[in-house]
Structures are given as C-alpha cells and as structure tokens.
Amino acid sequence: MKFTKWIVMGSGGIILAFLSVVLISPKAAHALVATLVQITNTTANPVPVFNADHKAYTDLADINTCGGNTCSWNFAPVPAGYRLVVENLSGSMLVPSSATHPPTATLSTGNNVYGISGTIGAPSTGAPGYSAAVINGNFKAYAAAGTSPLLYVTANWGSNAEVTLTGYLENCAITGCP
C-alpha cells in the first residue's frame, strides 16, 4: 500500500512538473526566439517603414499641344500644408525615325530647375516612320505648398508625350518643412 501511495505521489509530482513546464515554456520559447532574431537598420539596407507624415504622389502630364519643338505642362498645385518631394520623372513619346536629338525634359519646382536627358529607341512597329523615345530621371526635388511644378519637354515631335511625376507629399505640420 505504501508503495502504491509512493508511486501515485511520484507520478503526480512528475505530472505537476510537466504541466509547470508547459505553462511556462511559451514565454521562455518566445524570449529565446526574440533573442535569435535581430533586425538591423543600416543605410545600405534600410528596414521599410510606413511614414504617417508622407502620402504617395503621382501626377500624369498628357502633353498633346506644342509650340514648335518644346511643350509645357503644369502639374497640379501642391496642397496647402504640404511640401512635394519629387523622386522620379519618366515619360514616353514617338519621334520621327530621322530624329537625331533625343528628347529632354526640364522640371521647374519654383526656385529649382532639373534637367533630364532622354533616349531614342528602336523604330515603332505600330507607327511606321517613328521611333519610341523615353525620358527617365531619378532625383530629389522639392516644391512648396501652392506651387505647380512646371514641365518642359523638347523633342522632334511625332505624337503626344505622357510624362509621370512621382514622389510623396510631406505633411509640414508633422515634419516642419523648411
């Protein structure tokens, strides 16, 4: 009888110890995993984050009327309380296949002017006598609230150009825009 009582108490102790380990282990396992995972945020490999003070910005210029070889377009004005940070300007158009000068674009954001050179590609299969031309520039430009970025595109025109301006609107109430 004593032997049975000793086995039951011993088994109960083992079960109690097992349950204690089960109840405690999720926290310990989580702590162990957390120490094994390290996230480093370096300038060469930054961790992507969401900025509440930035809103994505895209505006399309569909230029179809030109005076000579230069066309212009006013993008939408920057809303009050924001600053536009331009990161890319890209576009495409058709130019005569005989064109010798690639298209160029100039973006004015108020006090600053940025120039982008383009390239002329292969002859177009859908428009005989014309070649596709593109402009693309990655840069950082700033436009203050109320200003409308102004685009000039110079090319030997064959058709209208579609130029896209992308970047983000910075909330000046949060960031204190300069």
> What is residue 148's predicted lDDT score, i.e. its pLDDT?
95
Q: List pLDDT tens digits, range 34-71.
A: 556 666 667 666 666 556 578 899 999 888 766 568 88
How far apart are the two ends of the chain, measured CA to CA in Å? 87
> What is residue 39's predicted lDDT score, i.e. its pLDDT?
65
Same domain, 58 and 3: no
Same domain, 26 and 88: no
**This prediction's pTM:** 0.66
Give SS3 for 145. Answer: coil
- The domain that holds 93 is classified in CATH as 2.60.120
Percentage of the chain beyond pLDDT 70 is 68
Residues of the domain holding 14: 1-38
Same domain, 6 and 80: no
Domains: count for the chain: 2
Position 116 in a domain = yes
Distances (CA, A) of 31 to 18, 36, 41, 65: 20, 9, 21, 65
More confident of the two residues 133 and 32: 133
More confident of the two residues 84 and 24: 84
Q: Of 23-27, 124-128, 172-176, which gets the smallest average pLDDT?
A: 23-27
